[in-house]
Structure 1
């Protein structure tokens, strides 16, 4: 990915993968564990909790809502333990979430370095 002085948003990160492996009680390879000690991301993370009104299972998401909530809580705790500041996006229309993200970026720009 080319270098940028603008924020770059990722839907998932290697931290999500490691956290999921931990959540499923899977062995985490040492090369992945090492990644957690190397700064790769901004300290500001936006999280969206499971939203019951739009949650559905399908071919890719086969687990029930209750497990999605448990996995989300594990992910949130993991980001906190790794020193990230988590900003929780409330259930809202996409444009409202985008406005919230932009406002947060303006007030917390120091976390983007």
Structure 2
């Protein structure tokens, strides 16, 4: 199988990290979500929620990290590379919050492409809030819509992953790699 960059995305609390972790245990190359690291680093500097206080700075840091992940994925050969969120997620979240942003964000979405996008739907039964996940479930529903619209805008056809066990979700993803 040739190298493929595959995005696993969805609103907050949909099981993305659990799916990525399971795929990694199965031996696949996986690149993990970077927003929590950026948020934690800002909190050490006394900024509670960087995205809310300085949305463009947060989004620039996030975009830079996701571009690095995209480049890293191209170095991993012979297997697909699963990436927890892609560059268009940055734009989707800014659109959701009504944040005006420079063209460089859209340019990055057009420059760095992915082979497949799997979209995990909102799932209230597994949704949990924590220190970095401040959105309500109702907000998670709206974010899902923004994510789907954004990926479609940039030419992707997101594949909806059914609500099921982690094992079945991963099996669904692996069975649909040739779409």
- Shorter chain as denominator, the TM-score bin is 0.7 to 0.9
Q: Distance in 2 between matches of 1:27 and 1:5?
A: 39
Partner of 1:104: 176
Q: Distance in 2 between matches of 1:82 and 1:33?
A: 9
**Paired residue secondary structure (1:52):** coil
Shift of 1:99: 0.9
Query: Which structure 2 residues correspond to residues 1-113 of structure 1 after superposition, within 5 A?
Result: 1=72, 2-42=75-115, 44-106=116-178, 108=179
Choose between structure 1 and 2: higher helix proportion: 2
Structure 2 residue runs without a partner (length 5+):
1-71
Shift of 1:13: 1.4
Q: What TM-score comes out, normalization by structure 2 length?
A: 0.55
Shift of 1:3: 4.3
| Deviations 1:58-93, CA, capped at 9 Å, x for gaps | 211111100100010111011112110111111111
Q: Distance in 1 between matches of 2:112 and 2:133?
A: 30
Asked if 1 retains the 8 angstrom alpha-carbon contact of 2:122 and 2:140, the reply is yes
- Number of matched pairs: 106
Structure 1 residue runs without a partner (length 5+):
109-113
**Paired residue secondary structure (2:118):** strand
Q: What TM-score comes out, normalization by structure 1 length?
A: 0.85
